[in-house]
């Protein structure tokens, strides 16, 4: 089991550019979560999916953020256009209901 | 909304000393989970407590869930440098078992 796989590990982009973060959950897990971590705000839930369906996107900061899960093995988080305040570590996590989260290694995003 | 606070925010101990972090929720929890995040790493699931007053041990780590199911603690006996990291508690949102609210975290530094 390779765990939750995120790509890229690091992303540096210029303000205004589109950024796409990718996540492959653990096979068989029925929930997928996108979190953002910063020193100031800690771990914030952005959105989560159950069986590929978005359940709660109330944590998505604004319309510049969007997330999709076209199938059980892939999800994307897109920021368009990116801004410096979006700089953070973005984590994807998956679970089988009733068990602890398995987090990916994260994507460290820097917007300059 | 639900809030989960942890104290202290930061603790620096000498190797061999004990360490305790406390977690308090604004609402009653059906369960509490604990995670450890090493510097530069991702949160890793440690344990889940479900029953009121439950105590679980993992080697030098002792986890406790309060009688009212609104607070929890993690105690490390005789810390080692490998214990360095940030410890998070997390509780499910009311009515949404799979969606967790993470605590603010306690960063532990251990020196020789």
A69: tokens are: 């899960």
B98: tokens are: 């799979």
Q: Does B41 touch chain A (CB under 8 A)?
A: yes
B99 → closest Cβ in A48, A98, A105 = A48
pLDDT at B57: 98
Mean pLDDT (chain A) is 95
d(CA A28, CA B60): 33
B98 → closest Cβ in A91, A97, A102 = A97
pLDDT at A2: 79
Q: Does A74 touch chain B (CB under 8 A)?
A: no
User: Are A56 and B99 a contacting pair at CB < 8 A?
Assistant: yes
Query: H or E segment at A31?
Result: strand A31-38
The answer, yes or no, to whether residue B27 has pLDDT greater than 80, is yes
User: Are A100 and B105 a contacting pair at CB < 8 A?
Assistant: no
Residue ranges of E strands in B26-69: 32-37, 43-49, 55-58, 61-65
Q: Say which residue the tokens 């490390």 belong to.
A: B76
Residues B34-70: pLDDT tens digits? 999 999 999 999 999 999 999 999 999 999 999 999 9
d(CA A112, CA A59): 23
pLDDT band at A1 (very low <50, low <70, confident <90, very high): low
User: Are B96 and A106 a contacting pair at CB < 8 A?
Assistant: no
**Residues sharing a CB contact under 8 Å with residue A80, sequence separation 6 or more, in sequence order:** A18, A19, A64, A66
The CB density around residue B16, as the number of other CB atoms within 10 Å, is: 11
B43 → closest Cβ in A95, A99, A103 = A103
- Collapsing DSSP to helix, strand or coil, B80 comes out as coil
Q: Does A50 touch chain B (CB under 8 A)?
A: yes
pLDDT at A102: 96
pLDDT band at A74 (very low <50, low <70, confident <90, very high): very high
| Gap from B71 CA to chain A (nearest CA, Å) | 18
- Scored b (16 or more CB within 10 A) or e, B83-105 reads bbbbbbbbbbbeeeebbbbbbbb
B102: tokens are: 């993470």
């Amino acid at each position: 089991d390779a765990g939750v796989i995120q790509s890229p590990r690091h992303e540096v982009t210029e303000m205004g550019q589109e950024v796409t973060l990718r996540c492959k959950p653990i096979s068989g897990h029925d929930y997928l979560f996108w979190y953002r971590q910063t020193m100031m705000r800690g771990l914030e839930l952005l959105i989560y999916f159950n069986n590929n369906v978005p359940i709660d996107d109330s944590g998505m900061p604004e319309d510049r953020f969007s997330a999709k899960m076209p199938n059980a093995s892939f999800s994307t988080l897109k920021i368009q256009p990116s801004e410096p305040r979006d700089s953070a570590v973005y984590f994807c996590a998956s679970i089988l209901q009733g068990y602890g989260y398995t987090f990916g290694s994260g994507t460290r995003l820097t917007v300059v | 909304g639900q809030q989960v606070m942890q104290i202290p925010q930061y603790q620096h101990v000498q190797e061999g000393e004990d360490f305790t972090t406390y977690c308090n929720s604004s609402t009653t929890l059906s369960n509490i989970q604990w995670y450890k995040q090493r510097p530069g790493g991702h949160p890793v699931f440690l344990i889940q407590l479900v029953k009121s007053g439950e105590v679980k041990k993992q080697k030098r780590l002792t986890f406790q869930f309060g009688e009212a199911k609104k607070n929890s603690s993690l105690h490390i006996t005789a810390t080692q440098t490998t214990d360095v990291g940030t410890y998070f508690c997390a509780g499910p949102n009311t009515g949404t078992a799979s969606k967790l609210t993470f605590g603010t975290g306690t960063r532990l530094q251990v020196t020789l």
